[in-house]
Amino acid sequence: MLKLENVSFTVDVDGSDLGIIDNITLEIPDNAFTVITGPNGGGKSTLARLIMGIEKPTSGKIYYNDIDITDMSVTERAKLGIGYAFQQPPRFKGLTVRRLLSLAAGSELPVDECCGYLTSVGLCSKDYLNREMDNSLSGGEAKRIEIATLMARKLGVAIFDEPEAGIDLWSFSMLVESFKAMSSGSHNSVIVISHQERIMQLADVMIVIADGKIRSIGSKDEIFPQLMGEFNENCGFRGKEGK
Amino acid sequence: MDKIDSGLLESVADLHEIPAGAYNIRKNGEGFSRRSTANIEIVAKTDKPGIDIIVAPGTKNESVHIPVIITESGIDDLVYNDFYIGDDADVLIVAGCGIHNSGDEKSQHDGIHSFHIGKNARIKYVEKHYGEGDGKGERILNPVTVVEQDENSVCEMEMVQIKGVDSTVRDTKAHLAAGAKLIVTERLLTHGKQYARSDMDVYLDGEDASAQIISRSVAKDNSKQIFHPNAIGNARCRAHVQCDSIIMDDATVSSIPAITANSADAQIVHEAAIGRINNDQLIKLMTFGMNEEEAEEVIISGFLK
């Protein structure tokens, strides 16, 4: 169980504090597929980075399985079983995809296991195993390999930051299937930041974050209709539908 | 051969025992042991220190190992090695120099290598430099490499210096005839107060000659590196020069790639980049449970692989 208690995060902009996360208290249950959504710039990625330890909260506490991890480093949190797939994965000159997956898994992975992970993100493994994770990969390819690095680990909490970004339509269906399998499989708890309806459809818990606050939280059946209604109200054209 | 000897041989030539095929091992400025084969003849020079390595035309899938080891302090070794590669041959040449200096005097090895590569011949040349020993004496290596490539020959050179050499000035020159192809990969890591300089002039003299020069380096601590590769196109040809460096701590790296075209049909490109390890790269590896030092190590070893 992941627990955030009164977590705030501010950054210094030209000498004055800009609030990114504003006093969030939240419990993310085990054995659940949690989808975080909300408008751009609302604080979703920052929340994920606070959980991974890449950013430290300005105030508040973060607990994982009742351990206070607020002051723990990224490395320590990783060892406890927290993982994070970057929205924009970094590139590494000279590091092959196979080596990266092995580093993620913590031991040299056999070829067939690597192939399995790559296939589940829609990449033909024989073309990619010995490719370098450098700038020769397209954004979508790098993104899928990034997702595969989390599949290669057994995690307590796996966080994916907009996994659908840059992924083509053909691979997207494959990805949805993989997330579906993940929700009942290898990781204890999966958190996905997403704007995609098909990913939201997999959610056990949905959280809407806007302006650094939780706007709403609940089951997919509770939250999803609200979101759809909101879009209708905000959109002049849709609002006139049926007239 | 004692333990230090075999340790050095393993570091510079991946040798665990006496190699199969032709070899020449030089130790502390003198020939130590040597073997020629039916197709590869190794002869000592009579006018100056060094050897001639003569590969018969058409020799295929054979190798030559010519490692140099220095285990005494105060050695100043200058050696001339000339390679004559017959037409259509295809061989692997493993050179390299390991210095174990536990004394206070400097130990130096300057290897002057010249290659005459025949028509349609192909060589792969691997050279590793390595230094160790706890003495105050400096370990210095100044290699000079001259390559003459005849028509349609292929020369692939891999030069590696990862550890323990205090000062290196490398000078490489190559001339390529029509259809010849040269691929040079340089990998370098300097630390402490080490100094490394590499000057390289590649002349593409014949039609359709091509060259690829890749240098990857990591400079740590207070070390200093200078790269100056120059590709000169004298005919219709293609060349690509790439210098890529990671800089850390208080190191200095200077990359000066140059390209010269003396023919309107020469296509020559250079790229150079110097930068520190990106923070996101470190964080990504830390999310796998590595600490910062381990992450740095993985990034550097991948970069230099």
Residue A115 in this model has a pLDDT that exceeds 50: yes
* CA nearest to B184, candidates B237, B138, B220, B147: B147
Predicted pLDDT at A180: 80
Our CA-based measurement puts residue A229 at a distance from the nearest CA of chain B, in whole angstroms, of 38
Nearest CB partner across the interface for A52, out of B287, B289, B290: B287
Token pair for A92: 């590494």
Contacts of A99 in chain B (CB under 8 A): 302
Token pair for B149: 């490539």
For A91, the closest chain B residue by CA position comes to: B281
Contacts of A86 in chain B (CB under 8 A): 280, 284
Predicted pLDDT at A226: 85
Residue A72 in this model has a pLDDT that exceeds 90: yes
- For the question of whether the overall pTM of this predicted structure is more than 0.90, the answer is no
According to DSSP, the β-strands at B30-35 and B22-27 are antiparallel
Please provide residue A43's backbone torsions phi and psi, each rounded to the nearest 5 degrees: 115, 10
Band of the pLDDT at A233, cuts 50, 70, 90?
A: low
Nearest CB partner across the interface for B302, out of A54, A79, A92: A92
Band of the pLDDT at A182, cuts 50, 70, 90?
A: confident
Beta strands in chain A (DSSP E): 2-13, 16-28, 33-37, 59-64, 67-68, 82-85, 157-161, 189-193, 205-210, 213-218
Nearest CB partner across the interface for B283, out of A74, A104, A106: A74
Our CA-based measurement puts residue A152 at a distance from the nearest CA of chain B, in whole angstroms, of 10
Residue A235 in this model has a pLDDT that exceeds 70: no
**Three-state DSSP class for residue A125:** helix
Quick: pLDDT tens for A50-67. Answer: 999 999 999 999 999 999
Nearest CB partner across the interface for A90, out of B244, B281, B298: B281
Contacts of A82 in chain B (CB under 8 A): 287
Nearest CB partner across the interface for A103, out of B216, B298, B303: B298
Residue A236 in this model has a pLDDT that exceeds 60: no
Q: Are A109 and A135 in contact (CB under 8 A)?
A: no
* CA nearest to B238, candidates B255, B256, B259: B259
Residue A242 in this model has a pLDDT that exceeds 50: no
Residue A243 in this model has a pLDDT that exceeds 50: no
Predicted pLDDT at A165: 86
Contacts of A97 in chain B (CB under 8 A): none
Band of the pLDDT at A97, cuts 50, 70, 90?
A: very high
What is the mean pLDDT of each successive set of 10 residues along chain B, which is 305 residues long?
A: 81 74 89 91 94 96 91 89 97 90 87 96 93 85 95 96 90 98 96 94 98 95 96 97 95 95 96 94 97 95 91
Contacts of B278 in chain A (CB under 8 A): 90
| Domains of chain A by start residue, with CATH | 2-236 (3.40.50.300)
Predicted pLDDT at B153: 98
CA–CA gap between residue B82 and residue A172 (Å, rounded): 59
Could A94 and B283 be called an inter-chain contact, meaning their C-beta atoms sit closer than 8 Å?
A: no
Our CA-based measurement puts residue B270 at a distance from the nearest CA of chain A, in whole angstroms, of 17
* Residue B98: count of CB within 10 angstroms of its CB: 28
Q: Are B160 and B98 in contact (CB under 8 A)?
A: no
- Which of A80-94, A109-123, B41-55 is the least confident region? A109-123
Q: Are A23 and A47 in contact (CB under 8 A)?
A: no
Interface contact B281, partner A, CB < 8 A? yes
Residue A48 in this model has a pLDDT that exceeds 90: yes
Contacts of B243 in chain A (CB under 8 A): none
